[in-house]
Chains A and B, each alone.
Chain A
Amino acid sequence: MSDVSRVTQQSATILMVADLQSGLSQLTQLQEEAATGKQINQPSDNPAGTSEVLSLNAQLGRFQQYTSNISDGQSWLGTAGTALGSVITNLNQVQTDVLSGANATAAATGSNQALSQDVLTIKGELLSLASSTYNNRPIFSGTYGTSPYPQGTASGVSDPTSSSYDADVAYAYAGSSTAVSRVVSPGQSVNVSITGQQVFGSGSSSVFALLDTISQDLANGNTSSLSGSDLSQLKTAINTATQAQGTVGALGASLATDASAVSDHVAAMQDQVSTLTDASEDQVAAQLDLEETSYQAALETTAKIIQPSLVQFLS
Chain B
Amino acid sequence: MSDFSDLTVGLSGLEAQQTAMDTVGQNVANASTPGYVDEEVQLGSVGAVQHMGFDDSASPLPGDGVEVEGIERLSNQYLQQQSYTEQANQGTLTAQQAGLQSVQGNFPEPSTTGISSQLTQFWQDWSTLANNPSDEATRATLVQDAGSLTSSLNQTSTALTTLSQQTVQSMTSTLGQVNQDAAQIASLNEQMLGTSANSSSGDSLADQRDQLISQLSTQLGVNVTYNADGTANVYSGSEALVSGANSQTLSLSTSGPPYSLVWSQDHTSFQPSSGTLAGDLSVVNQYVPGYQQNLDQVAQSLMGSVNNLVSTGYDLNGNQGTPFFLGTGASDIAVNPAVAADPSLIAAASAPVASGSSATNEDGTIAADIGELPNSQTVTLDVPSGGWSAGASASSWSGATTTTGTEADTAYNELVTGIGQATSTVNNSLTNQQTVTTNVNSALQSATGVNTDQEMTNMVMYQNAYDASAKFISTVDDVLQTLVTMVNS
A contact residues vs B (CB 8 Å cutoff): 1-2, 4, 6-12, 14-15, 18, 22, 40, 42-48, 50-51, 53-55, 57-58, 60-62, 64-65, 68-69, 72, 135, 137, 141-146, 174-176, 178, 180-183, 186-187, 189, 277, 309-311, 314
Residues 163-212 (chain B) with a chain A CB within 8 angstroms? none
Interface positions, chain B 336-365, Cβ under 8 Å from A, are 349, 353-354, 357-364
CB-based contact B438/A9 at 8 Å: no
Excluding A6-B446, A18-B438, A44-B420, 9 further A-B contacts by CB distance (< 8 Å) are A2-B447, A9-B32, A50-B417, A54-B413, A61-B120, A144-B361, A182-B130, A183-B130, A310-B456
Q: Is B104 an interface residue (CB 8 A)?
A: yes
Cα-based distance from A310 to B454 in the complex (angstroms): 9
Give the chain B neighbours of A189 by CB distance below 8 A. 368
* Chain B residues in the interface with A (C-beta under 8 A): 31-32, 38, 40, 74, 76, 100-101, 104-105, 107-110, 116-117, 119-121, 123-124, 127-128, 130-132, 134, 349, 353-354, 357-364, 368, 371-372, 374-375, 409-410, 412-414, 416-417, 419-421, 423-424, 427, 431, 434-435, 438-439, 441-447, 449-453, 456-457, 460
The CA-CA distance from A176 to B360 in the complex, in Å, is: 11
Taking a contact as CB atoms under 8 Å apart, the answer to whether A43 and B107 are in contact is yes
Q: Does A54 lie within 8 Å of B109, measured CB to CB? A: yes
Cα distance A57–B414 in the bound complex, in angstroms: 15
The answer to whether A44 and B361 touch across the interface, beta carbons within 8 angstroms, is no
Question: Which label, helix, strand, loop or mixed, suits the secondary structure of the B interface?
Answer: helix
Chain A residues within 8 Å of B109, by CB: 42-43, 50, 54
Contact B359 A61 (CB under 8 A): no
Contact yes or no, A44 B427, CB < 8 A? yes
Q: List 20 A-B contacts (CB under 8 A).
A: A2-B447, A6-B451, A7-B446, A10-B445, A11-B444, A15-B438, A18-B438, A42-B423, A43-B104, A47-B417, A51-B420, A55-B410, A58-B116, A61-B120, A64-B124, A144-B359, A176-B353, A180-B362, A187-B372, A314-B456
Known: A137-B362, A176-B353. Is A62-B31 also a contact (CB below 8 A)? no
Known contacts: A8-B449, A43-B107. The answer to whether A14 contacts B442 by CB under 8 A is yes
Provide the bound-state CA to CA distance between A9 and B38, in Å.
12
Q: How far is the CB of A69 from chain B (nearest CB, A)?
A: 6
- Please determine whether B416 and A57 come into contact, CB atoms closer than 8 angstroms: no
Shortest Cβ gap from A10 to chain B (Å): 5
| Chain A hits for B456, CB < 8 A | 309-311, 314
Name the CB-closest residue of A to B358: A146
In the bound assembly, the distance between CA atoms of A12 and B371 in angstroms comes to: 63
Residues of B contacting A68 with CB < 8 Å?
A: 128, 131
A110 to B74, CA, bound (A): 133
Q: Are A144 and B438 in contact (CB under 8 A)?
A: no
B40: which of A1, A54, A61, A137 is its contact (CB, 8 Å)? Answer: A1
Residues of chain A within 8 A of B368, CB atoms compared? 181, 183, 189
A69–B127 touching, CB < 8 Å: yes
Measured in the bound complex, the distance between the Cα atoms of B302 and A53 in whole Å is 21
CA A64 – CA B101 in complex, angstroms?
33
Q: Are A54 and B124 also in contact (CB < 8 A) when A44-B420, A144-B353, A145-B134 are? A: no
Q: In the bound complex, do residue B447 and residue A10 qualify as a contact, i.e. CB atoms below 8 Å apart?
A: no
A62 touches B123 (CB 8 A): yes
Q: How far is the CB of B422 from chain A (nearest CB, A)?
A: 8
Complex interface: chain A residues within 8 A of B360 (CB): 144-146
Q: Please indicate the chain B residues that have their CB under 8 angstroms from the CB of A4 in the complex.
A: 446
**Do B134 and A62 touch (CB < 8 A)?**
no
CB–CB B121/A53 < 8 A: no
Query: A62: which B residues are within 8 A, CB to CB?
Result: 120, 123-124, 127, 371, 374-375
Q: Which A residues lie within 8 Å of B38 (CB)?
A: 1, 8
Question: B359 CB to closest chain A CB, in angstroms?
Answer: 4
A144 CB to nearest chain B CB (Å): 4
When distances are taken between beta carbons in the complex, the residues of chain A under 8 Å from B76 are: 2
Q: Quote the shortest CB–CB distance from A145 to chain B (angstroms).
A: 3
Known: A47-B420, A146-B359. A183 touches B371 (CB 8 A): yes
Knowing A1-B74, A58-B374, A186-B375 are in contact, say whether A314-B460 is a contact too (CB < 8 A). Answer: yes
Question: Out of A50, A180, A310, which one reaches B453, CB within 8 Å?
Answer: A310
Kindly identify which residue among A15, A50, A183 contacts B416, using a CB–CB cutoff of 8 Å.
Answer: A50
A7→B413 contact, CB < 8 A: no
| A286 CB to nearest chain B CB (Å) | 23
Closest partner residue, chain B, to A135 (CB atom): B132
| Also in contact, A176 and B40, with CB within 8 A (given A14-B438, A18-B434, A55-B413) | no
Q: Is the beta-carbon distance between A10 and B31 smaller than 8 angstroms?
A: yes
Residue of B354, B412, B413, B439 with highest tally of chain A CB at under 10 A: B413
Residues of A within 8 A of B357 (CB): 144, 146, 174
Instruction: Determine the distance from Cα of A95 to Cα of B31 in the docked complex, in whole angstroms.
Output: 114
B315 to A: closest C-beta gap in Å:
14
A309-B453, A314-B456, A314-B460 are known contacts. Are A54 and B110 too (CB-CB below 8 A)?
yes
B420 CB contacts on chain A under 8 angstroms: 42-47, 50-51
A236 CB to closest chain B CB, in angstroms? 27
- Chain A residues closer than 8 Å to B121, beta-carbon distance: 61
Tell me the bound Cα distance from A44 to B361 in angstroms: 48
Cross-chain contact B409 with A55 (CB below 8 angstroms): yes
Residues of B within 8 A of A45 (CB): 420, 424
Complex CA gap A10/B101 in Å reads 32
Q: Considering the complex of A and B, which 8 residue pairs feature the smallest CB-CB distances, nearest first?
A: A43-B420, A61-B120, A145-B360, A11-B445, A144-B359, A8-B449, A44-B423, A146-B359
**Which residues of B lie under 8 Å from residue A64 when comparing CB positions?**
124
User: Whole-angstrom distance between the alpha carbons of A62 and B349 in the complex?
Assistant: 21
Please give me the residue from chain A that is nearest to B121 by CB atom: A61
**A65 touches which of B40, B128, B412, B416 (Cβ 8 Å):** B128
Across-interface contacts of B435 in A (CB, < 8 A): 18
B110 touches A175 (CB 8 A): no
Closest Cβ of chain A: how far from B103's Cβ, in Å? 10
What's the least CB distance linking A129 to chain B, in Å?
19
A8-B359 CB under 8 A given contacts A43-B419, A61-B124: no
Taken together as a complex, chains A and B put the C-alpha atoms of A152 and B117 apart, in Å, by 49
